[in-house]
Structure 1
Amino acid sequence: MIPCLRSFRRLLGPRRPERARLRFHGWIAGIGTSAGTRVVVGYWVRSPFGPFSDVMLERASGERLLLAPSRETADFIARTYTFDEVRIAPVAVDVAEGTWTVAAASLTLRFTVGRRGLLGHLLRAVPDSLATRPAWCALMDLPARLIPGVRTHGMAGAGRREYYGAQDLLPVTAARAAFQGTDLGLLAPVEPAVRFGFGSAPRKPAVVRIITTVVLEGKAGSDTVKAAVNRGRASTVHRPTGTWPG
């Protein structure tokens, strides 16, 4: 029986090497403005690069901009998503008593969150052991599509595959923002959907607690990213401040 099993394995060919997985634990905030600019804030309290925050911004014209705090984080995010411009600058996020304050280069953003609804309570029941499983995220992709623009897994740039495991959701109730000295107006739905990757933030502005798993493509790509991660850990990156949201 063992020889037969070995022959069968030879027919299948060599095993594919296991691809490296990087996990980012934190929150993603999706905000729309009456000026048409949409802002997505990543607030990462634990990641391969250490704690950091980043901002993805899409203007009414369709121009997509990334604001990241270091060359290493900027390169990683820019290879995973799509942008027209990348700027490296400090990204400061402070969370206190339901109010978020974001300062990044020429962007200032302040918004408040409300009480979690039924969906938020349901997501809080999802443990880390499930939220980090690709199979679970793939299963949740079907019900997630009921929320316009939302996906929980898909292909990203550089042959990478991403999985989003949501664990909480809080509505954004008010916001004010300015970019490059121009007032962006009041809070509005995130529409049209942002076009950084395979999915968008929910149409209704919200903050989602999430574990993002990025599966890298190929050994060479994994080694390159690991080297960048090591450099990024050694660099000065803004650490998010304040209390854990919600």
Structure 2
Amino acid sequence: MASRTWTFNGRILGVGTSSGARLVVGIWDTSPLGSFADVMIELGDGHRLLLAPTQEVADFVGGTYVFDETRIEPVEVRCTAEPGSTVLAGSRSTAVCVITASLTLTAALGRRTVLGWALRGIPRSVAASPLLSAVTDPVARVVLRGVRTRGSAGQGRREYYGATDVRAIRSVSARLDGLDLGCLTVVDPPARFGFSSTPRRPSLTEVVTTIVQR
């Protein structure tokens, strides 16, 4: 049987809150499922929740990661920035707002991190290469607790992450089902949706994600 490959281009927002929640927002500009956003949440009690905009997205994400509950609801992402800037441009102040029927989240972005500056020169075509993920994975395991750049996913799939930029998160406000999730904290313990978590330091990472099923 011929292998299948799916490539997702966009950004991943990962934050922790003082209630014990860890939230991971995928903001995908291009993908085999079109342009969309989804939210993965692990609460302090370990309950893992997926918010997906369509059943198609829920089926694909749920087939790759593990959740205790899935909700199908529109996921809107708004990015605000100073004139002439982009979401990951230098030190200009920006914010990412996520709105669903269950969740409202606003994350204020800080400066590009040291890692972000180091990653800026990597072309997306190179970042998407599984070979690069194989090289960076041992480093990521040591430097970024809980982070892997390659690993096994659901349904016999292999997943590869290639980052090209990183910005810090300065603050976050979030409410789930009307309850305040608290203030910004590190992503600790690592989220348990799949083989990898987002970095412990809250961040917005520009990324190419490649999923291969053989």
TM range (shorter): over 0.9
Structure 1 runs not aligned, ≥5 long: 1-16, 218-246
Tell me the equivalent position of 2:108. Answer: 112
* Structure number, greater radius of gyration: 1
**One of 40, 46, 49 as aligned partner of 1:56:** 40
Aligned mates of 2:196, 2:125 — CA distance in 1: 23
**SS of equivalent to 1:114:** strand
**One of 30, 37, 41 as aligned partner of 2:14:** 30
Give 1:150 deviation, angstroms. 0.6
Which structure carries more helix by proportion?
A: 1
Q: Is structure 2 residue 17 aligned with structure 1 residue 21?
A: no
Q: Is structure 2 residue 150 aligned with structure 1 residue 153?
A: yes
1:52-91 residue CA offsets vs partner (Å, 9 max, x unmatched) = 0000000000000000000101000000000001111000
Q: Is structure 2 residue 30 aligned with structure 1 residue 43?
A: no
**SS of equivalent to 1:213:** strand
Structure 2 runs not aligned, ≥5 long: 82-93
Q: Is structure 2 residue 180 aligned with structure 1 residue 191?
A: no
Q: Is structure 2 residue 202 aligned with structure 1 residue 200?
A: no
Q: Is structure 2 residue 70 aligned with structure 1 residue 86?
A: yes
Which structure carries more strand by proportion?
A: 2
**SS of equivalent to 1:148:** coil
Give 1:105 deviation, angstroms. 2.1
CA RMSD of aligned residues (A): 0.8
User: Paired residues, what number?
Assistant: 201
Moved over 2 A (4+): none
TM-score by length of 1: 0.80
Tell me which amino acid in the other structure corresponds to 2:211: V
1:186-218 residue CA offsets vs partner (Å, 9 max, x unmatched) = 10111111000001111110010000000023x
Give 1:144 deviation, angstroms. 1.1
Q: Is structure 2 residue 151 aligned with structure 1 residue 167?
A: no
Give 1:117 deviation, angstroms. 2.2
Aligned mates of 2:121, 2:39 — CA distance in 1: 28
Q: Single out whichever of 130-139 and 50-59 deviates more from structure 2.
A: 130-139
Percentage of identical aligned residues: 49
Aligned mates of 2:56, 2:42 — CA distance in 1: 22
